[in-house]
């Protein structure tokens, strides 16, 4: 803080003094301190970002002969620190990236260390020393890691602008097996009887299995016959379906012994085929169009409930469970435990149309309610987008739901509709109309109950 100004100071001295005093107070204010703080040797990080600002101040005062005082205004331009910090008048962003999985793992480990211990304090001193000596650049570390070990540093603007953005971790595509060694096939075509195919993959016969493979490969023979091991393309597809079905074996070592392949090779097959299957799922639409639904539905039963002329957009929704192992974390156990299913599980949605088009919705924790599930997965919002894109009918979506859902208002906000059985209040009984309405909805939803039974193959 500058010392007191002499009473007979000239205009030049006053101007210089007031400039230094203004810079001192503005710097303190921007760092979250009192402008009148007279503490000596105040320091802050040299890499703190700076900016140039202009102010109009009273640079000097001149006393006239008649006793009046004239103030001399002057515009000054100073380089001051950017106001950042919890007590400054400009808050730093509160939402920051936590990095990829590796960064988050390092952060959790560092947070588990007692930062008040001598070892942690010594480590902080060493880290500061390495940076000061130019041996380490903070740009190499993610901000969340720096904060977790208690290092209060600022990344200068040049480093911040030149920082290489953290890219998501990408899996390496499995290498395609080219130099095939002569070997005896593990399975022969004659051995793939309907009973054997069903035992391994749950498909009723080889024809159905290959039809499914042709569909997810979009009819591309190159994609269908691509292999990553010494197995034939048919063996790899049978092995993939066997792994995803998960009935013949439950451990990798069992597959290693049965197929004479290492664990790394087996996982390479699983990744390659699963990528093809997921790409097909991303490529296909959410629902079948109304024209397709009306054309391929059962013409003997459905027109009685939903006439052709109405061109109704019918979606039958229901939830199902996917059993999971009980976690050790009590909070996670509370989130995953479902009182309805009386087990630790994930909850997923299944939607089916009149033509048999089945769609699975994302998995959520088992404790979530049916109404919250539809809101969490944004089902009605996506239905609205699909309805606007489907030009074969102007009708909104009609969701046929069970009694557990309370989603009529949420559907109406997005312009969609719901059809549910009647609810019984207290101990009141249904009247005749309510009984018939509930029975009619139950008959319509019977197709969705059969679709839910396919969850083993749809929710992977």
pLDDT digits 0-9 by tens, 402-438:
777 778 888 888 999 888 776 655 455 666 666 666 6
Give the C-alpha separation, 140 to 367, whole Å.
41
Long-range contacts of 58-66 (CB under 8 A, 24+ apart): 58/18, 59/11, 59/14, 59/15, 59/18, 59/19, 60/11, 60/14, 60/15, 60/18, 61/14, 62/11
Give the C-alpha separation, 64 to 319, whole Å.
88
Q: What is the DSSP letter of 164?
A: P
Give the pLDDT of residue 19. 82
Give the pLDDT of residue 193. 93
Q: How many H-runs (helices) and E-runs (strands) does the chain carry?
A: 19, 9
Give the C-alpha separation, 186 to 194, whole Å.
17
Mean pLDDT value across the chain: 77
Angle at which helices 263-283 and 206-216 cross, to 10°: 70
Measure the N-to-C terminal CA separation of the chain; round to a whole number of Å. 68
**Residues 130-144, mean pLDDT to the nearest whole number:** 58
The 10s digit of each residue's pLDDT in 68-110 is 777 888 888 888 888 765 555 555 455 556 666 666 666 666 6
- Give me the DSSP letters along 167-224: PPP-PPPPPPP-SPPP---SS-GGG--HHHHHHHHS-SSHHHHHHHHHHHTTT-HHHH
**Residues 143-148, mean pLDDT to the nearest whole number:** 62
Give the pLDDT of residue 205. 92
Residue 56 or residue 233, greater confidence: 233
Give the C-alpha separation, 317 to 371, whole Å.
12
CB 30 within 8 A of CB 81: yes
Give the pLDDT of residue 97. 62
SS3 247: coil
In sequence order, the 6+-apart residues with CB closer than 8 A to the CB of 9 are 17
**Backbone φ and ψ of 361, nearest 5°:** -100, 165
In sequence order, the 6+-apart residues with CB closer than 8 A to the CB of 363 are 322, 346, 347, 348, 459
In sequence order, the 6+-apart residues with CB closer than 8 A to the CB of 271 are 171, 174
Identify the residue whose tokens are 């009887």: 193
Give the pLDDT of residue 84. 65
- Give me the DSSP letters along 37-85: ---SS----TTS-EEEEEEEEEEEEEE-TTS-EEEEEEEEEEEEE---S
Give the C-alpha separation, 159 to 166, whole Å.
14
346, β-bridge pairs: 322, 365
- Give me the DSSP letters along 360-425: EPPPEETT--HHHHHHHTTHHHHHHHHHHH-TT--PPEEEE--TT---HHHHHHTT-EEE-PPPPP
Does the pLDDT value for residue 276 go beyond 80? yes
| b (16+ CB within 10 A) / e for 144-165 | bbbebbbeebbbbeeeeeeeee
The 10s digit of each residue's pLDDT in 368-379 is 988 889 888 999
73, β-bridge pairs: 58
């Amino acid at each position: 803080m500058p010392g007191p100004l002499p009473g007979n100071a000239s205009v030049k001295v006053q101007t210089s003094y007031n400039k230094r005093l203004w810079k001192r107070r503005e710097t303190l204010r921007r760092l979250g301190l009192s402008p009148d703080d007279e503490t000596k040797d105040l320091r802050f990080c040299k890499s703190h970002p700076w900016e140039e600002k202009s102010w109009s101040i009273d640079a000097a005062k001149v006393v006239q002969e008649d006793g009046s005082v004239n103030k001399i205004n002057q515009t000054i331009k100073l380089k001051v620190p950017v106001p950042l910090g919890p007590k400054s008048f400009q808050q730093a962003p509160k939402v920051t990236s936590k990095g990829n999985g590796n960064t988050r793992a390092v952060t959790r480990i560092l947070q588990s260390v007692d930062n008040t211990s001598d070892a942690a304090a010594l480590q902080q001193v060493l880290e500061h020393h390495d940076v000061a000596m130019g041996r380490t650049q903070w740009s190499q570390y993610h901000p969340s890691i720096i904060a977790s070990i208690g290092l209060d540093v600022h990344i200068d603007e040049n480093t911040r602008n030149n920082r290489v953005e953290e890219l998501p971790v990408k899996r390496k595509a499995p290498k395609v097996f080219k130099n095939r060694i002569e070997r005896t096939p593990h399975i022969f075509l004659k051995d793939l009887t309907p009973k054997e195919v069903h035992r391994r993959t749950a498909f009723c016969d080889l024809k159905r299995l290959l039809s499914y493979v042709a569909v997810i490969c979009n009819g591309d023979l190159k994609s269908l016959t691509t292999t990553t091991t010494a197995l034939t393309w048919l063996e790899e597809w049978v092995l993939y379906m066997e792994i995803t079905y998960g009935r013949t074996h439950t451990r990798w070592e069992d597959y290693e012994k049965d197929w004479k392949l290492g664990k790394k090779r087996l996982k390479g097959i699983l990744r390659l085929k699963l990528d093809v299957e997921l790409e097909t799922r991303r490529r296909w639409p959410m629902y079948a169009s109304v024209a397709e639904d009306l054309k391929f539905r059962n013409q003997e039963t459905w027109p009685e409930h939903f006439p052709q002329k109405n061109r109704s957009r019918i979606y039958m929704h229901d939830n199902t469970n996917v059993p999971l192992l009980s976690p050790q974390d009590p909070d996670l156990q509370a989130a995953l435990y479902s009182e309805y299913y009386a087990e630790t599980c994930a909850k997923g949605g299944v939607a089916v149309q009149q033509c048999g088009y089945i769609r699975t919705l994302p998995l959520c924790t088992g404790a979530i309610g049916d109404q919250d599930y539809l809101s969490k997965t944004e089902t009605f919002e996506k239905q609205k987008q699909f309805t606007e894109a489907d030009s074969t009918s102007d009708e909104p979506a009609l969701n046929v739901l069970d009694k557990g859902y309370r989603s009529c208002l949420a559907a109406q906000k997005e312009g969609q509709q719901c059809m549910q059985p009647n609810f019984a209040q207290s101990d009141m009984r249904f009247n005749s109309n309510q009984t018939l309405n509930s029975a009619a909805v139950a008959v319509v939803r019977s197709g969705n109950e059969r679709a839910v039974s396919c969850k083993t193959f749809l929710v992977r």
